[in-house]
């Protein structure tokens, strides 16, 4: 598999970018490292001349940019999702630094349907908790503790550089493995757990969201393959069948 084919499996996603100049600078940053896929979620001001001016020789990236109304629709067929954030959260998500990507990337790139997304939040407020929880991993760029805020395009530049270094060392001669579940398939499994737990009256009524959030984190951490996912869905369906008979 060629280097360009590998890089085409990556998508850089900006959530509600407010400054068009940052969009252009991001396009330039990913093209510097040989990537080409850029997606925008509900951009505040795009298309815009400032974005194309800041892109310099990466105007083709902007001309082919994909625009979505919300984050879930942009990652439906993603098989590995990283959310970048400098903030810690109340419910911690599996976290990696930008230097710990090698093993995770290798496993996914060897699948036949690999699509790897890196999500970058708003310039001022970053990603919401809900958006971060859609990701498989929370990724942090190691920075000075006293000043961790990084310009959006600079963060993209750092991540895309690290990815280029990883791909330069990737052995693409290895055999391609079977498909792995997508974001949408994982969501169907999580929703199935949600339905069954509600039927079992499992939820703590005072804080029901905590249970589903932690179940989501569990599924993301385990990353079941398609066979395992089929077993889990069949198990849940059987429980539903038993519960329905009792009612």
Residue 43 lies in a domain: yes
Q: Is the pLDDT of residue 205 over 80?
A: no
Q: What is the CATH number of the domain that holds 196?
A: 1.10.8
Residue 175 lies in a domain: no
Q: Which of 106, 134, 168 is the C-terminal boundary of a domain? A: 168
Confidence of residue 26 (pLDDT cuts 50, 70, 90): very high
Same domain, 45 and 145: yes
Same domain, 152 and 206: no
Same domain, 233 and 201: yes
Q: Which residue has the tokens 């000043």?
A: 147
Range of the domain at 88: 3-168
Same domain, 49 and 18: yes
Q: Is 103 exposed, middle or buried (0-12, 13-18, 19+ CB in 10 A)?
A: exposed
pLDDT of residue 141: 82
Residue 174 lies in a domain: no
- Asked if residue 34 lies in contact with residue 140, where contact means CB atoms within 8 angstroms, the answer is no
Using one digit for the tens of pLDDT, what is the confidence trace for 213-239? 888 889 988 888 899 999 999 999 999
Q: Who wins on pLDDT, 1 or 39?
A: 39
Same domain, 157 and 236: no
Residue 173 lies in a domain: no
Using one digit for the tens of pLDDT, what is the confidence trace for 35-90? 999 999 999 999 999 999 999 999 999 999 999 999 999 999 999 999 987 666 55
Q: What is the CATH number of the domain that holds 16?
A: 3.40.1280.10
Q: Which of 168, 195, 216 is the C-terminal boundary of a domain? A: 168
Residue 193 lies in a domain: yes
Same domain, 152 and 86: yes
Same domain, 156 and 188: no
Residue 111 lies in a domain: yes
CB proximity list for 70: less than 8 A, separation 6 or greater: 41, 42
Q: Measure CA 204 to chain center.
A: 29
Domain count, the chain: 2
Q: Which of 168, 194, 225 is the C-terminal boundary of a domain? A: 168
Q: Which residue has the tokens 């510097």?
A: 32
Residue 72 C-beta-side C-alpha neighbours within 13 Å: 7
Same domain, 124 and 236: no
């Amino acid at each position: 598999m060629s280097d360009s084919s590998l890089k085409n499996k990556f998508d850089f996603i900006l959530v509600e970018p407010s400054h068009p100049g940052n969009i252009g600078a991001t396009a330039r940053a990913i093209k510097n490292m040989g990537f080409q896929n850029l997606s925008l979620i509900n951009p505040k001001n795009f298309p815009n001349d400032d974005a194309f001016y800041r892109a310099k020789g990466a105007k083709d990236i902007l001309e082919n940019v994909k625009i979505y109304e919300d984050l879930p629709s942009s990652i439906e067929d993603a098989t590995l999702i990283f959310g970048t954030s400098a903030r810690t959260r109340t419910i911690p998500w599996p976290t990696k630094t930008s230097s710990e990507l090698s093993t995770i990337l290798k496993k996914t790139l060897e699948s036949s349907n690999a699509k790897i997304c890196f999500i970058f939040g708003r310039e001022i407020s970053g990603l919401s908790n809900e958006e971060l929880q859609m990701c498989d991993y929370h990724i942090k760029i190691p920075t000075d503790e006293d000043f961790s805020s990084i310009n959006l395009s600079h963060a993209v530049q750092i991540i895309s550089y690290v990815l280029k270094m990883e791909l330069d060392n990737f052995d693409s001669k290895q055999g391609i493995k079977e498909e792995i579940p997508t974001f949408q398939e994982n969501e169907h499994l999580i929703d199935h757990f949600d339905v069954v737990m509600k039927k079992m009256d499992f939820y703590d009524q005072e804080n029901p969201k905590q249970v589903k959030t932690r179940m989501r984190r569990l599924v993301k951490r385990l990353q079941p393959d398609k066979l395992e996912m089929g077993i889990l869905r069949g198990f849940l369906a059987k429980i539903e069948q038993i519960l329905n008979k009792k009612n």
